[in-house]
């Protein structure tokens, strides 16, 4: 009995209440239902008995069931004067211990400190997979599989949740349901009643609706096959109570099984729709199959399908190549879009059908019984099955793609709003999503109950990842950036003059005769505009609901953990490198991720009283004149392209210890952009800072952006065959180099930046010149790289640190401070590898034309530059500035 007491304790009961409930009801789920109805609230005590749960002895406030007699508030929840700050809903699996509080007698200022938000979790679970039974259902003329216990429990690493799932499955798949009126008659429960996987969710609910309401053959009374309770025809007369009589909302057991089966069907459909078809894979890439023998039970799914939530490897991001005449094949794009739309519609429709059975106190027509009496497995189903789909969809890095798939994403947002609206589910918004990171199969065994069926065990490792609200915030940041882009280039606002009396009369006279011309927005722009507003509205609605259900402390702590988009007006971020390279790497990644994209003021202030004070501003920018010419323009296609671009850039700029990209966008002119790229490891550009001015011109995205390289030592140094001393950038995407060019509507600025990072700032830049492409490892190539290293130290390191270019001063100082020890070691290595030749502005001892240049002796100034650079690094470390 101790195990049953423990289950009730984890649900919020005191040990005394648990024992009292189990004395009256031998079944733990029936006891739990009565406990949630408040039948044992009068029982106190057990102050001297320690709880077996890992959580504190806090009680969760429970939604009131419709058949209670207490007065209800306007929101349909029982009014209670008791202070519930210490009893807010805490997940029943108690995996997160409360760490707040200053000791005995000191109240917690934040009761949620230390819970729900930590992603530093790793769980290893052994899960069992059985071959499913197959039965015929004559009523629908279908041969269906029955969900096994292993499938029902799959994906659940939480001990508390596992016990509830097991209990509900056992209760509904075997035994008898006795008549609640004590006439001695009972009805046998079959697994096919509740766990048959039909061809559609609608068929499942229709079949369930036919059988769940049973009429006793002994006393002719009606009762529910799922919970065994009698069914009363009297409806609760309350404003918030439902007036209809849908049998599928009768009890929490039905809610638990419908959500479990429905979400399992959804997960399977989503996996099938998103996985690459097996026949499309290369034959050599297929997983070798075991030879089937008579003694080996057959399973019709492999690891990659059964555990579809295993996260794939990170996306490869790369630019367009330099050489060759490859052409991109755009045929079949419309067909692919139509196929994607059909898939999204199918998944969206199933999401909509299942959402009807989510606990929802605000549903149209009034709350049902199961809306108030939430089954303990409801949160478990959502966390392990819905979260897999939610995570996959919200990790999409293209806001434009989401907008095109609005039929699916709008339904996903509706789910998140509904979940956040209910006390029993709202905490899920902040809880980390547990994802599968590894699957290890063991040998297949025979079932002891049915020798024809096989069983196999798998060791599954789960790790915590970003929760739903955190994932949504990344999309919300993209939406805000897109809205800024859709505003277009704002014209200068001229001060309004006082109207004369005659002008006022004319205004009155023309009222109704001429209407103010509304700004026309193209259909495509409006579509993205509506989608962005919907995302932001959902994020705000979730936060409002969480404040209502969980309190301000919960939301404040949640917001502190969310990703943020910073501006130059934000409080400066200071990070400590620590004492080890590991701590420095971690600090660098956290810092770079936060500051990689910012809006700032790139204008040049006009002098007070000058003629230019009230004219279009100038910019600290190579393309300032071009930008000023577009000051009053309104080009809808360009605005849409910039909006999509900004949405991608805000959260997808690559950051790493080895190389990062930082962007600064003018806060009023989003077409004015500056970029800083740090040189990649293993190249002669490593750890240097390279600046680019970027302008999204009038034809963007029909034509590529204008890009100018600015780190040239005053126009003296050519760092690469593709980076000229005058700032020209040779890249096929920009139309300045041979190879695949810019594709209207598809190519992006992010591609340009990554191409520069990975293909121009490369390990052997000498080979970027077409005539030298076959000269890898030659003395000429080594000399060229040595010359580049000298230019990098003098200009991209020392020059930028001594006179940091705006607006990257803080970025450059922090970059060198956090990597000071590593860069000092790197400089020593470069000094040893130097060939002693003089630095030439255009080649490592050779000109671009191939003519020999006098090296000029061994004193080339590198050691002096290295010593000065190391001194500045030491000063940065000491000052911590």
Whole-angstrom CA distances from 622 to 31, 188, 327, 704 are: 74, 81, 32, 17
614 vs 290: which has the higher pLDDT: 614
pLDDT at 447 over 60: no
Taken as a whole, the chain contains a residue count of 881
Residue 868 pLDDT > 80, yes or no? yes
Neighbours of 397 (CB within 10 A): 16
With b for 16 or more beta-carbon neighbours within 10 A and e for fewer, the 751-761 pattern comes to bbbbbbbbbbb
In this prediction, residues 331-352 reach a mean pLDDT of: 87
In a domain, 206, yes or no: no
Rounded Cα gap, residues 461 and 436, in angstroms: 6
Residue 859: the pLDDT is 64
Please report which confidence band the pLDDT of residue 84 belongs to, taking 50, 70 and 90 as the band edges. very low
- Of 818 and 114, the one with more pLDDT: 818
| pLDDT above 60: residue 151 | yes
Region 595-617: mean pLDDT is 77
pLDDT for residue 848 = 40
pLDDT of amino acid 809: 93
518 — pLDDT class (breaks 50, 70, 90):
very low
Confidence of residue 71 (pLDDT cuts 50, 70, 90): very low
Tally of domains in the chain: 1
Quickly state the pLDDT bin for 512 (edges 50, 70, 90).
very low
Beta-carbon contacts of residue 732 (< 8 Å; ≥ 6 apart): 320, 321, 322, 738, 739, 740, 741
Residue 287: predicted pLDDT: 38
Please, what is the end-to-end C-alpha distance for the chain in angstroms?
62
Task: Examine residue 279 and state whether it is found in any structural domain, yes or no.
Answer: no
Predicted local confidence at residue 334, as pLDDT: 77
Give the model's confidence band at 364: pLDDT under 50 very low, under 70 low, under 90 confident, else very high.
confident
Question: What pLDDT, on the 0 to 100 scale, is given for residue 399?
Answer: 86
Residue 184 and residue 180: Cα distance in Å, rounded? Answer: 9
pLDDT-above-70 percentage for the chain: 72
pLDDT of residue 634: 76
Nearest to 372 by CA among 36, 17, 86, 35: 36
pLDDT at site 198: 94
Q: What is the mean pLDDT of the chain?
A: 77
Banded model confidence at residue 393, pLDDT cuts 50, 70, 90 = very high
728 pLDDT band (50/70/90 cuts)?
Answer: very high
How high is the pLDDT of residue 439? 85
What's the pLDDT tens digit per position in 184-233?
Answer: 888 999 999 999 999 999 999 999 999 999 888 888 888 999 998 888 75
23 pLDDT above the threshold of 50: yes
In the three-class reduction of DSSP (H, G, I as helix; E, B as strand; rest coil), residue 108 is classed as: coil
Residue 846: which domain range? 577-879
CATH number at residue 751: 3.10.110.10
Instruction: Report the half-sphere exposure of 430 (CA within 13 A, side-chain side).
Output: 29
Question: 287, 405, 427: which is closest to 351 by C-alpha?
Answer: 405
- Looking at 11-20, 419-428, 809-818, 839-848, which range is the least confident one? 839-848
What are the residue numbers of the active site?
A: 730
User: Is 816 inside any structural domain?
Assistant: yes
Yes or no: say if 753 and 677 are a contact pair by the CB < 8 Å rule. yes
Locate all alpha helices (DSSP H) within 561-606, ordered by sequence.
581-595
Mind listing the pLDDT tens digit for each residue in 655-664? 999 999 999 9
Residue 443 confidence (pLDDT): 65
- Does the residue 785 lie in any domain? yes
Instruction: Give 771's contacts (C-beta < 8 A, 6+ positions apart).
Output: 850
- Helix (H) / strand (E) containing 128: strand 122-130
Tokens read off for 608: 């007070």
Beta strands at 597-600 and 661-666: parallel, antiparallel or unpaired: parallel
Distance (Å, whole) CA 200 – CA 190: 20
DSSP 796-846: IIIIHHHSPPTT-HHHHHHHHHHTHHHHHHHHHHHHHH---PPP-TTSSSB
Structural domain contains residue 696: yes
For 335-347, letters b (16+ CB in 10 Å) and e give eeeeeeeebbebb
Chain segment 400-442, per-residue pLDDT in tens: 889 889 999 999 999 999 999 998 898 889 888 888 888 887 6
Give the residues across from 367 on adjacent strands. 241
Q: Please state, in angstroms and rounded to a whole number, the distance separating the CA atoms of residues 75 and 798.
A: 64
Phi, psi values for residue 658, rounded to 5°: -75, -35
pLDDT at 401: 86
3-class SS of residue 197: strand
Task: Read off the pLDDT of each residue in 840-867 and give the average, rounded to a whole number.
Answer: 61
839 within 8 A of 600, measured Cβ to Cβ:
no
Q: Flag whether pLDDT at 454 surpasses 80.
A: no
In tens, the pLDDT along 237-258 reads 555 555 567 889 989 999 999 9
pLDDT in tens, 553-594: 888 888 888 888 766 555 566 788 888 889 999 999 999 998
**What pLDDT, on the 0 to 100 scale, is given for residue 28?**
67
pLDDT tens per residue, range 257-279: 999 999 999 999 999 888 754 44
Grouping H, G, I as helix, E, B as strand and the rest as coil, residue 78 is strand
Q: Look at residue 174 and tell me whether its pLDDT is greater than 80.
A: yes
Would you say 360 and 249 are in contact if contact means Cβ atoms under 8 Å apart? no
Identify whether 350 is part of a domain: no
* Residue listed under structure tokens 């609706």: 209
User: What's the pLDDT at 521?
Assistant: 63
Whether residue 397 lies inside any domain: the answer is: no
- Comparing 284-298, 722-736, 813-827, which segment has the lowest mean pLDDT? 284-298
Write down the pTM of the prediction: 0.73
Here the tokens at position 300 are: 């019709």
Which pLDDT tens digit goes with each residue over 670-686?
999 999 999 999 999 99
Provide the pLDDT for residue 857.
37
Residue 819 within a domain: yes
**Is it the case that residue 824 has pLDDT exceeding 90?**
yes
pLDDT bucket at 375, cuts 50 / 70 / 90: very high
Look at the block and give the residue holding tokens 């790289």: 785
């Amino acid at each position: 009995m101790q195990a049953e007491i423990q289950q009730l304790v984890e649900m919020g009961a005191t040990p005394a209440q648990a024992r009292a409930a189990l004395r009256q009801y031998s079944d733990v789920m029936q006891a739990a239902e009565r406990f949630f109805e408040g039948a044992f609230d009068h029982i106190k005590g057990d102050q001297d008995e320690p709880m077996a749960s890992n959580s504190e002895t806090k009680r969760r406030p429970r939604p009131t069931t419709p058949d209670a007699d207490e007065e209800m508030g306007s929101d349909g929840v029982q009014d209670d004067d008791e202070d519930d700050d210490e009893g807010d809903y805490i997940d029943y699996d108690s995996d997160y211990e409360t760490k707040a509080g200053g000791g005995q007698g000191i109240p917690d200022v934040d009761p949620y400190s230390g819970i729900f938000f930590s992603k530093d979790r790793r769980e290893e679970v052994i899960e069992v997979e059985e071959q499913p039974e197959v039965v015929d259902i004559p009523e629908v003329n279908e041969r269906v599989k029955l969900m096994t216990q292993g499938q029902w429990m799959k994906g659940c690493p939480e001990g508390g949740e596992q016990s509830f799932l097991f209990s509900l499955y056992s209760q509904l798949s075997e035994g008898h349901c006795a008549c609640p009126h004590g006439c001695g008659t009972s009805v046998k429960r079959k697994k096919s009643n509740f766990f048959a996987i039909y061809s559609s969710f609608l068929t499942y609910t229709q079949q369930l609706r036919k059988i769940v309401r049973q009429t006793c053959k002994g006393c002719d009374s009606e009762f529910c096959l799922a919970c065994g309770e009698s069914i009363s025809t009297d409806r609760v007369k309350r404003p918030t109570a439902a007036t209809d009589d849908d049998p599928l909302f009768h009890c929490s057991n039905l809610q638990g099984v419908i959500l479990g089966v429905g979400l399992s069907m959804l997960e399977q459909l989503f996996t099938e729709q998103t996985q690459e078809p097996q026949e499309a894979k290369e034959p050599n890439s297929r997983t070798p199959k075991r030879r089937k023998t008579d003694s080996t039970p057959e399973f019709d799914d492999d690891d990659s399908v059964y555990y579809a939530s295993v996260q794939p490897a990170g996306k490869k991001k790369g630019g367009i190549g330099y050489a060759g005449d490859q052409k991109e094949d755009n045929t079949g794009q419309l067909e692919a879009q139509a196929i994607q739309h059909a898939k999204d519609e199918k998944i969206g429709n199933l999401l909509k059908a299942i959402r009807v059975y989510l606990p929802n106190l605000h549903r149209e027509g009034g709350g049902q019984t199961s809306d108030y009496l939430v089954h303990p497995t409801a949160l478990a189903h959502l966390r392990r099955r819905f979260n897999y789909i939610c995570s996959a969809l919200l990790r999409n890095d293209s806001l434009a793609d989401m907008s095109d798939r609005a039929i699916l994403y709008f339904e996903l947002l509706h789910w998140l709003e509904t979940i956040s609206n209910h006390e029993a589910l709202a905490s899920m918004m902040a809880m980390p999503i547990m994802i599968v990171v590894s699957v290890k199969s063991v040998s297949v065994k025979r079932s002891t109950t049915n020798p024809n069926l096989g069983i196999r065990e798998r060791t599954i490792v789960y790790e915590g990842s970003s929760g739903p609200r955190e994932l949504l915030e990344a999309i919300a940041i993209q939406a805000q950036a897109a809205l800024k882009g859709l505003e277009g280039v704002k014209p200068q606002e001229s001060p309004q003059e006082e109207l004369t009396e005659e002008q006022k009369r004319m205004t009155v006279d023309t009222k109704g005769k001429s209407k103010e011309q509304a700004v026309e927005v193209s259909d495509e722009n409006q579509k993205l505009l509506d989608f962005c507003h919907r995302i932001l509205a959902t994020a705000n609605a979730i936060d409002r609901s969480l404040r209502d259900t969980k309190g301000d402390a919960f939301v404040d702590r949640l917001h502190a953990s969310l990703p943020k988009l910073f501006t130059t007006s934000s409080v400066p971020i200071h990070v400590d490198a620590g004492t080890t390279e590991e701590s420095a790497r971690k600090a660098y990644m956290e810092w770079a991720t936060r500051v990689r994209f910012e809006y700032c003021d790139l204008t040049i202030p006009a002098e007070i009283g000058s003629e230019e004070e009230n004219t279009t501003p100038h910019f600290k920018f190579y393309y300032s004149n071009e930008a000023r010419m577009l000051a009053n323009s309104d080009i809808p296609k360009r605005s849409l392209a910039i909006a999509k671009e900004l949405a991608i850039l805000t959260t997808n700029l690559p950051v790493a210890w080895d190389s990062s990209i930082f962007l600064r966008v003018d806060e009023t002119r989003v077409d004015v952009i500056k970029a800083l790229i740090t040189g990649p490891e293993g190249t002669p550009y490593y750890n240097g800072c390279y600046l680019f001015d970027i302008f999204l011109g009038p034809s963007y995205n029909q034509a590529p952006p204008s890009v100018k390289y600015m780190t040239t030592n005053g126009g003296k140094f050519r760092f690469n065959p593709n980076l000229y001393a005058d700032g020209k950038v040779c890249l096929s995407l920009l139309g300045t180099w041979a190879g695949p060019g810019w594709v209207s509507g598809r190519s992006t600025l992010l591609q340009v930046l990554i191409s520069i990072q990975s293909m121009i700032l490369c390990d052997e830049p000498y080979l970027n010149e077409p005539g030298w492409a076959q000269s890898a490892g030659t003395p000429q190539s080594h000399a060229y790289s040595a010359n580049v290293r000298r230019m990098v130290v003098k200009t991209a390191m020392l020059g930028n640190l001594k006179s940091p270019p705006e607006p990257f001063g803080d970025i450059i100082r922090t970059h060198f401070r956090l990597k000071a020890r590593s860069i000092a070691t790197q400089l020593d290595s470069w000094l040893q590898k130097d060939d002693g030749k003089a630095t030439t502005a255009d080649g490592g001892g050779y000109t671009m034309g191939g003519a020999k240049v006098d090296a000029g002796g061994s004193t080339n100034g590198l050691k002096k530059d290295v010593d000065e650079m190391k001194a500045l690094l030491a000063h940065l470390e000491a000052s911590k500035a």
